[in-house]
Structure 1
Amino acid sequence: MSESQGLQFVESEEVVALRASVGQLASKYGWEYHDKKARAHESMTELWADAGAAGFLGVNIAEEYGGGGAGIYELSVVLEELATNGCPPLMMVVSPAICGTIIGRFGTDEQKKQWLPGFADGSKIMAFGITEPDAGSNSHQITTTARRDGDDWLLKGQKVFISGVDTADAVLIVARTEEAKTGKLRPALFAVPTDAAGFDAKPIEMDIHEPEKQFTIFLDDVRLPKEALIGEGDAALMQLFAGLNPERIMASAIAVGAGRFALNRAAAYAKEREVWGKPIGTHQGVAHPLAKSHVEIELAKLMMQKAATLYDAGDDFGAGEAANIAKYAAAEASIAALDNAIQTHGGNGLTREYGLASMLSSSRIARVAPVSREMILNFVAQHSLGLPKSYG
């Protein structure tokens, strides 16, 4: 699929087989496994290991580094199918998609050899640190700085809402360096080991139901060798955006899969549950909301596939617009699908047995992260419609 220059409405035999294989693995775990891990605040290490051993985590990594040699399209297929089965690993958005893409495209040969094989088989995990307490959606206000100290770098600053630091070997930190000629601060990316001196991570007490924990990171003059700088310092902005489009596509995959999960459960219940002598799915008051959600999920999925196809074809600009639209559409469709599924179940939709109520808070993440609904609308207004910039 990723080799094609145009969107294919019928997936290749390879992609169809990939979906089936991922579904087979996911069925061994499912929502019950995800729920158990979430309630215990434990990572899904067994699923991650099995997915890595099967080659699913690294389908987008180059073959020379142990990956599948495919693209973000195929990686999004893996995550969508895991989500459809109720067990999506959030770190797939981060480690192989964001970090794997950035290092694969811009890293040195040594950096690729160091990280990509581990991303491919799941033995290495890299988190991603961009968000800061005072910067919010404004990445231009990032205050984490990196300064030269001989051949080394010293990083100082703070990051917040960083996923999976407890399971990661390193965090890809977005910092700012001073340009020698102008004195201006420019973005740069650094691979920071989680066991480095001066690196401290504190868990954030969240009120959502997810296995992956969120952290605040404190960087107190963390000393790094020059090799920790990913790619070229003066190309960091390009490198950063190269990872953000896959992030949006993969976030869409989770939302699309979660929507499918909810609808599958709702449809099954509506066919079985009988009131007044007939299945409740007979009634349009039940059937139409579910049908509407199915339409919305399919439309969001199509835009996600368009974004992934454009990205894999090298069209970064076209992929940027499509990825933002896909993320917006998938979030809205997923939340609506879950709400309709719970309504279909009535009181049962709020019980643990049916596995829907616990998704209420986590599904809401899709409207907020990795980019808010409002910032996507700002992007579309400015870049798609040519309207004046409304912020900054």
Structure 2
Amino acid sequence: MNTFTEPEERQELRRQVAKLAAKYGRDYFAGKARAGEKTTDLWLEIGKNGYLGINVPEEYGGGGGGIGDVAAVCEELAAQGCPLLLMVVSPAICGTIISRYGTEEQKQRWLPGICDGTGTMAFAITEPDAGTNTHNITTTARRDGDGWVLTGQKVWISGVDEAQNVLVVARAEDARTGKVKPVLFVVPTDAEGFTANPIPMELVSPEKQFQVFIDDVRLPADALVGDEDGGLVQLFAGLNPERIMAAAFSLGLARYALDRATAYAKERAVFGQPIGAHQAIAHPLAQSHIEIELARLMNQKAAALFDAGDEMAAGEAANMAKYAAAEAACDAVDRAVQTHGGNGASQEYGIAGLLVATRVGRIAPVSREMILNFVSMHSLGLPKSY
């Protein structure tokens, strides 16, 4: 088998997802966003066709595939102008963690809805005062009889208004050592004491961001996902897929922008020939094609390592893929705008709006600076700088 080419099954998956997404397209997505509406019909059709939970085991309604498969779905949706941020969160982060660490009852309760789109789950880790430093989160979980009580707040939580539940990262005190440890809880969005306020954004997207307040939210014992002493291992089971999916999201947007720019450069004629004949236009677009393909290859490697169970190598590759994809996307969109000239700023051509969408990829879910810190320390063996 050619290890540098995806299996035929995944290539066919890409073709089918692209075909489905093309029925909707960028005009549909942008129209929903500007009208303040949701892309629920697209989301449910993806689920109905089995693409949404393709990484979840078959016995819970999924496709039995790996993170590489669901990343391919995410990328192809974005490449058709329909980037669905909750693909990163619900099936990839929450679906992976629950599949790996949930009890049989928890899997039966939550995974089918994640797979068919009717039980979307958000993910809450970031806090206003902790930022990138997840060791400093202050959302606490304390025992209360047979259950738990959660208190704290989260910020930049995607899609709370579309989710039935949120997988919340909290910290609890270890009764034996007195030290705090990360713990994971599934919290219903309609739970008493749980409130979410939308954050006004410059980014025009159907998917909203929220600040979440958790005020003495009482949870039953079976809201706890995984071993309460499992620590960071359980958390990072979701964070490596998050990086792989973020890279796929950026790559899809980069491909969309490059496709639009290339088509325009072939059609737009100035000085007697298409502008794509000029190296000032052609070379930047060619450069973007190279950058996108390099990032796609690294993401393919990251997904393969993760699906093979090599967490350490997957973490390094996922960080590098996410970095490379975000850079490639920002460059591709900037070059696409430049290729379109004045038309690049118009709603008609739909390129300028991607400037903000791709720029966020350099910040979330982990900043480019933290990835450089990771590579400096873990890949190169340099002293820790923070």
SS in 2 for 1:281: helix
Q: State the shift of 1:318 in Å.
A: 0.5
Residue in structure 1 matched with residue 333 of structure 2 by the alignment:
338
Structure 2 Cα separation of the partners of residues 190 and 352 of structure 1: 42
**Residue 225 of structure 2: SS of its match in structure 1?**
coil
Residue by residue, what CA displacement relative to the aligned partner does 1:172-225 show, whole Å, maximum 9, x if unpaired?
Answer: 000000100121111100000001111011111111121100001101000000
Aligned to 1:303: 298
What residue in structure 2 maps to residue 178 of structure 1?
Answer: 173
The whole-number CA distance in structure 2 between the counterparts of 1:149 and 1:19 is 48
Q: What displacement does 1:111 show?
A: 0.6
CA contact (8 A) 1:7 1:306 kept: no
Q: Distance in 1 between matches of 2:57 and 2:321?
A: 26
One-letter amino acid of the structure 2 residue matched with residue 266 of structure 1:
A
Aligned position for 1:239: 234
Q: How does 1:310-389 map to 2 (within 5 A)?
A: 310-389=305-384
* TM-superposed deviation, 1:340: 0.4
The answer as to whether partners of 1:202 and 1:217 remain within 8 angstroms in 2 is: yes
- Measured in 2, the distance between the counterparts of 1:278 and 1:49 equals 45
Aligned residue for 1:3? none
**2:284 partner SS:** helix
The aligned counterpart of 2:163 is: 168
Is the 1:145–1:176 contact (alpha carbons within 8 Å) kept by the matching residues of 2? Answer: yes
Q: Secondary structure of the equivalent of 1:234?
A: coil
CA distance in 2, matches of 1:236, 1:72: 22
- Segments of structure 2 that go 5 or more residues without pairing to the other structure are none
Is residue 225 of structure 1 aligned with residue 223 of structure 2? no
Q: Secondary structure at the match of 2:206?
A: coil
Q: How does 1:7-22 map to 2 (within 5 A)?
A: 8-22=3-17
**Hey, what's the Cα distance between the residues in 1 that align with 2:167 and 2:200?**
23
The equivalences for 1:67-216 within 5 A come to: 67-216=62-211
Alpha-carbon shift at residue 244 of structure 1 (Å): 0.2
The two structures have a TM-score, normalised by structure 2, of 0.99
CA deviations 1:249-305 (Å, max 9, x no partner) are 000001001010000000100001101111000000000000001000000000010
State the distance in 2 between where 1:42 and 1:323 align: 32
Shift of 1:384: 0.3
SS of the residue 1:329 aligns to: helix
Deviation, 1:385, is 0.4
The answer to whether the 8 A contact 1:162-1:215 is kept is yes
Equivalent-residue separation in structure 1 for 2:151 and 2:172 (angstroms): 11
Amino acid at match of 2:273: K
In structure 2, C-alpha distance between the alignment counterparts of 1:40 and 1:199, rounded to whole Å: 27
Distance in 2, matches of 1:280 and 1:151, equals 69
Percent identity over the alignment?
A: 65
State the shift of 1:311 in Å.
0.3
Aligned pairs, number: 386
Shift of residue 42 of structure 1?
Answer: 2.2
Question: Matched residue of 1:376: which SS?
Answer: helix
Report how far residue 120 of structure 1 moved.
Answer: 1.1
Q: What secondary structure is seen at the aligned counterpart in 2 of 1:46? A: helix
Corresponding residue for residue 18 of structure 2:
23
Corresponding position of 1:36: 31
Match runs of 1:44-55 below 5 Å: 44-55=39-50
* Cα displacement (A) at 1:7: 8.2
Shift of 1:88: 1.5
Runs of 4+ with >3 A deviation: none
Deviation of the 1:89 alpha carbon: 1.0
**Counterparts of 2:256 and 2:3, CA distance in 1:** 24
- State the alpha-carbon separation in 1 of the partners of residues 29 and 382 from structure 2: 43
Q: How far apart, in 2, do the equivalents of 1:224 and 1:16 lie?
A: 43
Structure 1 unpaired stretches of 5+? 1-5
User: Cα deviation per residue 1:328-358 (whole Å; 9 max; x = unaligned)?
Assistant: 0000000000000110000011111111011
Distance 1:196 1:68 in 2: 31
Q: Contact 1:57/1:120 (CA < 8 Å) preserved in 2?
A: yes
